[in-house]
Amino acid sequence: MRDDRKCTAIQLRLKGYSIKSIAKKIGAAQSSVSIWTRAVQLTPKQMERLRTNMHSPKSIEKRRQSRLKSEAIKRAVIVDCAKAEIESLSKRELWLIGIALYWGEGAKLEVQFNFLMATQGLLSSS
């Protein structure tokens, strides 16, 4: 079975297919396809076609959407862990957090907080 897939991968690569498309087509890992087809030399025309496809607006948008989805998943995991760790906050604790954010003079974007400058008195524990 593996030898059949290897031969098919080499034939497809000779036709100018990308490693990723070959891997999908034959159901193998991209790393395996890369190793199997390492000796195949693409023509300049085939290389240009692969480069053009890689930089097409459709491909760029697909990579962007994939990255955004991955970041959203990571962010959700962090938020869920923080919620589990914090459990609940009292009204006083929420008030103190709000005051700290107000005095922090920083950027408050989505779920990130960047403190640029803090009042000296706020940070002292007297």
Residue 106 lies in a domain: yes
Count up the domains in the chain and report the number. 2
Residue 5 lies in a domain: yes
Domain membership of residue 74 (yes or no) is no
Query: Structure pTM?
Result: 0.48
Judge whether 53 lies within some domain.
no
Asked, for residue 77, whether it belongs to a domain, the answer is no
Q: Is residue 54 part of a domain?
A: no
Which domain does 100 fall in, by range? 88-120
Least confident of 6-10, 20-24, 108-112: 108-112
Examine residue 7 and state whether it is found in any structural domain, yes or no: yes
> What does the block give as tokens for 20?
């990723």
List, in sequence order, every residue forming a beta bridge with 108; answer none if it has no partner.
113
* Residues 64-121: tens digit of each pLDDT: 999 999 999 999 999 999 888 887 888 999 899 888 877 776 555 665 555 555 555 5
* 59 vs 18: CA distance, rounded Å: 13
